[in-house]
A and B are shown apart, each in its own frame.
Chain A
């Protein structure tokens, strides 16, 4: 983790290749790659296609028809069934948990990233904090789930949405601080200097200078952490019990446990839980993909 090595690597690998020809020049068609690409497309899309068409089949038709042929009389029955099984509640729980964890996580991470970038030079404490967050990246959530469970029951928060929110929030912090710190660092020093000249406080500088300049990074971090929390399974599994507190992935699991022979209904529930993410993906695809790629080169 030394600066030197890191800088060299950044110089070595991250700088775009000069000239108009960026990347690999592919004069001939890459047959092997092409084959792999199209085959993989089938591998990816076939299960998805199957999920979608099957979710519109009647359970009785499901056994009688070819599984890969779309239903001749599509039905919304399965969706109605899933929605009647408290889907809306689970959806709202997931929204509450995701917003409740990611919003504060990004906010406090942004503040911490700002503090670390601005204050580390003069503060051993902030350098220590930075080191702690780096170390934090290496803690897998699964490995500390038992003490988290213990803490949650001691706080008498077991089986509440708060029990999911707090650890999710905490585990979103290290990576967010790191990514946001890298972006705050890119803000030219002169701008900070001129803010200071104008008599702005650090708090004011954070919001009026750093915030607008790092907005793309904030969006990316929010999307990424949002996805992680939205899809989280082990925290709800261990820290909640009652259906009232279930989030979507856990509800999905319980639902398939209860109705696994009703495959069309199970798949309708998969579609419903995935739809919000896919919608966001369609809207924010560019942001997410380029954000993730940017995460690499940062």
Chain B
């Protein structure tokens, strides 16, 4: 369960027909044929498949053989395959802590030298996208696909009906809460049982209050990093919001996988929702005419009064990532690298744009103008390219073990079971683990 799960759930939305592996063969294959596993379901699947098909057509030598999985299945399947020594040559993933755990177990190749030799491949992509691909100063993955920042969505209709304006500061957020509750609308929708949804709030609050350094210290393993005053302040603010009934009733039993949180927004039961940019695709598919009627609004996260973080900063997925399995044959690795060079050509970029995504290629905004969703896409491009700092979501950045503890404590924090200080204390214990 993670931010990426949501991203991919978004990608897999409207998958009315379940789409599982198109090939049941697993393992590393033979010869120069490289195997490649990725997520199934629209809108991502046909675009990924298209990139592979074009590559296979253009190259008579090493080919790519595809197996697709649904999002929820993919992570477990991949872990199991790695444990059994049967992983695919090309490993699709989210970078960060997950990638680090593969690195720690010597499962993926170091690509630093390859990128040095192929500067052109590297230079055309958003520099921020290499953050989650870099572990201990070395690059272990090829960034690909789209950028997905977290933004604040709101229901314009609710705001107009109650003559309210969307918040730009945390103070305004807290002022809106009682007004919206009085109007019988939940201020914020939240799929709290998924836990990473709660985490997005903390990611922004920490950043707005104390800047990216606050979490960076945790990531770097500094002792007691969670005791930073900015961190305590952020944790306190979120509990204030919870106590003021800022979130929809029963949020901790709502799961994000089911998109029930999105439904609360477009059904007008909640006024706002902090969520990944992929929500746009979900709402446009499931929310009837909600977007067509111009009822969906979006903003960057509000500033916090007195905070030192840059208001342009954002968090989310800086891209998706492809790594090379260390146990693949040299020929397979060669095929994989050739495939990497072919990625994000114009056709693929156009494909992602049509699905409401912004490719991680510099200057891709030039292509956005023709899209029917150009307003939203331009907003996402602006948010992503203007961000002084593009934070990686915490559970992706940390190891699976630390991430699980984090999500656990976040759930308790949101239940008001533990105080901000207790949260910091128990998180300090897993720093560096």
A interface residue numbers (CB < 8 A to B): 84-86, 153-154, 156, 158-159, 241-244, 254, 256-261
Contacts and interface: CB of A to CB of B under 8 A. Distances in A.
Among A153, A242, A260, the one with the most B-chain Cβ atoms within 10 Å of its Cβ is A242
Contact of B258 (A86, A154, A156, A256): A256
A242 B67 CA distance: 11
B263 to A, nearest CB: 5
**Interface of chain A: mostly helix, strand, loop or mixed:** helix
B73 A243 contact: yes
Interface of B: 15-21, 24, 69-70, 72-74, 76-77, 80-81, 83-84, 86, 255, 257-260, 263
Contacts of A158: 80-81, 84
A291 B259 CA distance: 45
Nearest to B19: A243
A259 B80 contact: no
B70 A261 contact: no
Contacts of B21: 242, 244
Contacts of A85: 16-18
A242 B258 contact: no
B70 A242 contact: yes
Contacts of A244: 20-21, 24
28 contacts: A85-B16, A86-B18, A153-B84, A154-B84, A156-B84, A156-B86, A159-B77, A159-B80, A241-B73, A241-B76, A241-B80, A242-B20, A242-B21, A242-B69, A242-B73, A243-B18, A243-B73, A244-B20, A244-B21, A256-B258, A257-B255, A257-B257, A257-B258, A258-B257, A260-B258, A261-B258, A261-B259, A261-B263
A6 B50 CA distance: 70
Contacts of B263: 261
A243 B70 contact: yes
B17 A86 contact: yes
A261 B69 contact: no
Contacts of A153: 80, 83-84
Given A243-B18, A258-B257, 16 more contacts: A86-B17, A153-B83, A153-B84, A156-B86, A158-B84, A159-B77, A242-B69, A242-B70, A243-B19, A243-B20, A244-B20, A244-B21, A257-B72, A257-B257, A258-B15, A260-B260
A272 B263 CA distance: 26
B357 to A, nearest CB: 21
B258 to A, nearest CB: 3
